[in-house]
Structures are given as structure tokens and as C-alpha cells.
Amino acid sequence: MDTGTLELTDEEQQMLRGERGLPLQKAIQYQVEVGSFFGAKRLVPVTNAHFMGDIEVMGDDGLQRLDNLARQGARCAIDTTNNARCMDLDAAEGLGQDPAEIKKEHKVIRVLRDMRVVTTDTCINYQTVYQPKLGEHVAWGDTGTVIYANSVFGARTNFESGFAGMSAALTGRTPAYGFHLDEHRRGSIEVTLETPLEDLADWGAIGKIVGHPHQDYFSVPVFQGVEQMPSSDALKHLGASLASYGSMAMYHIAGITPEAPSLAAAFDGRAPSARITITRDDLDAVYGAYRYVSGGPNLVVFSGPQQSLLEIRALAELFAGRKVAPGMQVFLTTNHAVLADARRLGYADILEGAGVRILQGVCFYLLQRLSRIREENGWTNLVSNSAKIVNTITAHRFNTVLRRTRDCVDIACTGELK
Amino acid sequence: MKTTINVSRAYGHAVTGEALVMREGFSPRYDLDRLTGVISRIGHSAEGQSLKNKILIIPTSKGGVAAGWAFQDIKEKGFAPAAFVFGKANPVMVQGAILAEIPITDGWSENALDCIASGDIVRVDPAARTIEVLQKAG
């Protein structure tokens, strides 16, 4: 029995031999292969898994694999949630998504529920569902959830994509490499902030400044000079951006995040491989580098990650009494739980009254058939306060522009591309 | 002269094929039209090129967990690459390549962007942890 670089417990060896059923055997075989690539010595128990998979990304083969697992009796051994999907089932047909794929997406959801997945359809599970503790090992998919878990909670996870997340959900374990190990959690890049950050988009912009030139999963930036206590949403935009531009899975903020009581503690004896200073000019240069192209209609999008209740309230205040301008379309995405509360509190009514389209259970860049929908609508520029989404959506050939939240709302309501 | 690059980590069977060299990071979510297998990001160094049967030489990974499913999906659709040769991979690329049983390597002893050009014939040998340039493009 090939266990690669890993030493397995008796129970894990039983799984590998198939004595606990076919699904667990498949899951642990895969974990041994992935773990061995990274030289993992063991599997580590995890308390929580977050699964990424929808019909657009997994395709027919992915659905077939999940369905086979479910039919063979696969059931999540630990609490498992799922990520934002590629369709808001109530809006999918109206948006121009494929009816055949909509059917399959219904099946994905059914199969996940059969396997005991709590289908939250959210990429902000860390704000709305589960908050792991310092040192707690989890197996999360969606890079934004991973970097938040490692950095803000001090929990421990690698990027666990679709089948890796599902394997962890089934075995209750994951290979112990990367951010499960102390040695990879120390800082490697020193970032000094010499400018206050005024908007969520600013937090994303510094993620781009740091991440883009240093693309490396094992780089860990350490920020100093953060004068005001950042909100959860600010840290979410910073992390989502670092993960997107830099493929990074962890950061520290000296004096703020739990594994960085001080700058020295965050580096723990490791010498920084790079030092970056960020000034107001650097921040302005990020916004200044985007160019609009002519054409239309144009989009303003609040998504990637899904909006929290507090972000939605802030947007409702900015949109109150205004209307989306002709030639502009505005989309906002969030999860079901947040939207229910936003409706109860009247924020959703204000936004929809202004002409904002709210989609639930999705992230905008994940939408199935997005390239063709863009062409059919003639959508040209996509403006957002999310540094992540202006990066992740580019395969669909949008011209993307990052702007601060208030500017996004002004652009949406005036049609003036500034 | 034979050029050989040693790699730090590797998975899969040995394969020989034509190289497609990217000058910047890659993610199937950000850069690839997964319905056609063609690089679609405006301004990407491989924009307009198909991944099909190519040995992809890629310096770094971008974010996103899509690759975990996407490599198997594009394999099913008939335009999978022959191998991934990453300077710096992330776990998602590795998880996706292993699910799809496509060879993948990580870490370069030399800068592959200096030694390998698109069109070169390259052999990837995961067991030996080497990348060899067999024939330079004409």
C-alpha cells in the first residue's frame, strides 16, 4: 500500500485499504497523492470544510464524480458548507444562462445535500457561518476564505479546491503541509503603510500593490503602520486581493492579527525577502492606471466577495433617493442569510428601488455563461470597489476599473465614467 | 547543447511535447476561456493560444480555486495540456492536475523562461524531476 511521504494512523490505513467504503478510499488516496507532492508527513484532523464546486467550474465529469460518491454512500464527517455558486436559481433564466446547465446545478445542490453539505452558497462563511479559533485546523476552498481564516482567525488551512475540500469533508482530515505548519506562517515581506486607508477599495488596492509583483503562495506579507483598527470587511477585501493577485494565503498586521503581536513576532527570526513602502501616491497610481474604453452599456458591480450586511447598509445609504443612470447596470451579490436580513431591515428595498439588481448565492465573476452574456448585452466597462473582481473576471474580456465605493455609486447614478 | 532544468517537486508520468511559454502568472479562472481552451485574458502573453497538448511553462500561479476542477473539465472537453511546468505552483494547481492525472512540476533550478521558448520540444520526467529541451523551435 503506497502511502507516499505520509505516515498514516491505523484508521487511515483502513480507509486506504477500502475497509471503510469506496468513497473514503478514493478521498484518502487523493489526499496521499497531493500530500506527497508537498512532502507532507501526516494527515491532520480538521473541524470544518468549505467546498467549492458548481456546474460551471466542475463540468459534467465533476458532477458525475460527486453523484457517484453520494450513491456509494459518501457523507461528510465534519461540518461542511459550500461556496458561492454560478447561478441564482431565480434569476438564471432571465440572465440568459443555459437551461440545461440550470437543471444540472439543481442536481449539484441535491447531491451536496445528500452528502450532508450545508448549502450556504457563500464565499463569506467566515463572516456569516463559522469562525474557527486560533490554531484550529480547517479545510477551506475559495482563496478569500482561506486567507481570512489563516490571517484574521489564526486558524490553519491551505487552498483546498473542489475535490480536495470534499476529500477533507469525507475523511475529516487533510494533508499537513503549507499553512498547517508553523514554519510557513512566518512573515516574508515587510510592508510599511504611510497612508491612511479610507475605503474598502483602498484595502484591495494595497493587496494588488503587494500581491501582483510577488506572486507566490508561500509569501506572507506583514503590514505595519496600520493606525486604525480595520473592520472585518476591510480585512476581507485586503485578503481577497492578496489571494487573487499574489496567490497568497496569509498575511499579518503588526499589533492587530493574532499571530503578530509585534512586527518581530510576525517574522519570528526570518529575514524579509522584500520591503515595500506604500504612500498616498502609490495608492492614487493604482486607481490612475485603469482606463475606460468607449462603448456601453457599462456595469457597476458590488461582489467578489459577497457583500456583508454592513456593506449593504452602507450602499443603501449611498443609493438612497437616487436612481441608476440610463446606460448603466448595477449588480450586487450576497448570500441568502444576509439578503433575508437586508430585506427585513429595508436595505434591499432601497437598493432595488434605485435600480440595483441583487443576486443571491452567487458571486458575479462565477456566473455560468458570463462571456456570452457579456457579448449579448454589449457590456463594456465593469467598475467595482473590489480589487479582486476586477482581476478575477478578466477571462470574460471585460474592461475593468477599480474605484472607491462612493465613486462607484456616483458612476452608477450619473453614468459619468470618472 | 542539451538544456536540463531540475525541478523541486513533481507528479505524473513522463511526457514529451511542444512547449507553450507564458511570461506571467496563470489561472484558468482569470486567463482561460474554458469553453474553447484558448487564453482569453486581454493582454496575456499567450492570448489567443490553445493549451491543447502543450507543455505549459508558467512562472507563477494566480489565485482562485477553479483549477481544482477546471483541468479535469478541459480534459473531458478534449483540450487538456500535456503537462504543467510551474516556477511557483500553488496547491490548487497541484490538486487540479492530480485529479486530472496530468503531469505537474514545481520549482526550477534555472529560469525556464530563459531556456525554453514556445515551440521547443520538451521532455518532462517527473520521476527524474527533470525538464529537458530536446529540440529548439526552428
- Which CATH number do you get for residue A129? 3.30.499.10
Range B3-135: architecture per CATH = 3-Layer(bba) Sandwich (3.50)
Q: CB within 8 A of B76, min separation 6: which ones?
A: A59, A60, A61
Q: Do B66 and A53 touch (CB under 8 A)?
A: no
Pairwise CA distance, residues A266 & A77, whole Å: 34
Angle value at C-alpha A242, between A317 and A212, nearest 5 degrees: 115
Residues A143 and A230 in one domain: no
Residues in B closer than 8 angstroms to A244, CB to CB, are 62-64
| Min distance B55 CA to chain A CA atoms (Å) | 19
Residue A122 lies in a domain: yes
Pairwise CA distance, residues A287 & A301, whole Å: 16
Count Cα atoms within 13 angstroms, Cβ side, for A226: 23
Dihedral angle sign, alpha carbons of residues A58, A62, A63, A67 = negative
Q: What is the pTM of this model?
A: 0.97
Chain A neighbours among B 61-120 (CB < 8 Å)? 61-70, 72-73, 75-77, 88-92, 94-96, 98-99, 104, 106
What would the 3-class secondary structure string for chain A be? CCCCCCCCCHHHHHHHHCCCCHHHHHHHHHHHHHHHHCCCCCEEECCEEEECCCHHHHHHHHHHHHHHHHHCCCCCCCEEEECCECCCCCCHHHHCCCHHHHHHHHHHHHHHHHCCCECCCCCCHHHHCCCCCCCCECEECCHHHHHHHHHHHCCECCECCHHHHHHHHHHCEEECCHHHCHHHCCCCEEEEECCCCCCHHHHHHHHHHHHHHHCCCCCCEEEECCCCCCCHHHHHHHHHHHHHHHCCCCCEECCCCCCCCCHHHHHCCCCCCEEEEECHHHHHHHHHCCCCCCCCCEEEEECCCCCCHHHHHHHHHHHCCCCCCCCEEEEEEECHHHHHHHHHCCHHHHHHHHCEEEEECECHHHCCCHHHHHHHHCCCEEEECCCCHHHHHHHHCCEEEECCHHHHHHHHHHCCCC
Residues A14 and A154 in one domain: yes
φ, ψ dihedrals at A370, nearest 5°: -65, -35
Chain B neighbours among A 303-362 (CB < 8 Å)? none
pLDDT value at residue B1: 53
| Min distance B28 CA to chain A CA atoms (Å) | 8
pLDDT value at residue B29: 87
From the list A106, A104, A162, A160, the residue with the least C-alpha distance to A137 is A160
| Min distance B121 CA to chain A CA atoms (Å) | 25
Q: CB within 8 A of A412, min separation 6: which ones?
A: A300, A319, A324, A325, A328, A330, A356, A383
pLDDT along chain A (418 residues), means of 10: 95 98 98 98 98 95 97 98 97 96 97 98 98 98 97 98 97 98 98 97 98 96 96 98 97 98 96 97 98 94 98 98 97 98 98 98 96 95 98 91 98 96
Q: Do B99 and A143 touch (CB under 8 A)?
A: no
Residues in B closer than 8 angstroms to A237, CB to CB, are none
Of A156, A181, A206, which closes a domain? Answer: A181
- DSSP bridge partners of B33: B38
Whether A142 and chain B come into contact, CB under 8 Å, resolves to yes
Residues in A closer than 8 angstroms to B11, CB to CB, are 33, 37
Dihedral angle sign, alpha carbons of residues A174, A177, A178, A182 = positive
Interface mutation vs chain B, best among A2, A33, A37, most B CBs within 10 Å: A37
Query: Residue A281 class from Cβ within 10 Å (0-12 exposed, 13-18 middle, 19+ buried)?
Result: exposed
Residues A88 and A206 in one domain: no
From the list B90, B32, B96, B98, the residue with the least C-alpha distance to B61 is B90
> What is the domain range of residue A120?
10-181
Confidence band (pLDDT; 50, 70, 90) for B30? confident
Residues A299 and A279 in one domain: no
Asked if residue A54 lies in contact with residue A85, where contact means CB atoms within 8 angstroms, the answer is yes
- DSSP bridge partners of B85: B57, B105
Confidence band (pLDDT; 50, 70, 90) for B2? low
Q: Do A161 and B67 touch (CB under 8 A)?
A: yes
Residues in B closer than 8 angstroms to A61, CB to CB, are 72-73, 75-76
Q: Do B76 and A61 touch (CB under 8 A)?
A: yes
Q: Do B69 and A161 touch (CB under 8 A)?
A: yes
CA-to-CA separations, A267 to A23, A110, A217, A222, A397, in angstroms, rounded: 41, 45, 17, 8, 39
Residue A3 lies in a domain: no
- Specify the residue for cell string 462607484: A408
| Min distance A343 CA to chain B CA atoms (Å) | 31
Residues A93 and A25 in one domain: yes
Residues A275 and A309 in one domain: no
| Per-residue pLDDT tens over the stretch B58-112 | 999 988 899 999 999 999 999 999 999 999 999 999 999 999 999 999 999 999 9
| Min distance A374 CA to chain B CA atoms (Å) | 13
Residues A141 and A54 in one domain: yes
Please state the domain count of chain A: 3
Kindly tell me if the per-residue pLDDT of B138 is higher than 80.
Answer: no
Residues in B closer than 8 angstroms to A35, CB to CB, are none
Domain residue ranges in chain B: 3-135
First-to-last CA distance in chain B? Answer: 15
Angle value at C-alpha A13, between A7 and A14, nearest 5 degrees: 165
| A-B Cβ pairs (cutoff 8 Å, strict) | 141
Interface mutation vs chain B, best among A215, A380, A386, most B CBs within 10 Å: A215
Asked if residue A418 lies in contact with residue A407, where contact means CB atoms within 8 angstroms, the answer is yes
Residue A2 lies in a domain: no
Whether A290 and chain B come into contact, CB under 8 Å, resolves to no
Residues in B closer than 8 angstroms to A375, CB to CB, are none
| Min distance B138 CA to chain A CA atoms (Å) | 31
Whether A37 and chain B come into contact, CB under 8 Å, resolves to yes
Residues in A closer than 8 angstroms to B73, CB to CB, are 57-59, 61-62
Residues A163 and A16 in one domain: yes
Of A287, A303, A323, which closes a domain? Answer: A287
Rg from Cα positions in chain B: 13
Of A130, A148, A181, which closes a domain? Answer: A181
Residues A280 and A369 in one domain: no
A369-396 as b/e, with b when 16 or more CB fall inside 10 Å? bbbeebeeeebbbbbbbbbbbbbbbbbb
Q: Do A397 and B64 touch (CB under 8 A)?
A: no
Asked if residue A370 lies in contact with residue A343, where contact means CB atoms within 8 angstroms, the answer is no
Residues in B closer than 8 angstroms to A248, CB to CB, are 63
Predicted-complex ipTM score? 0.96
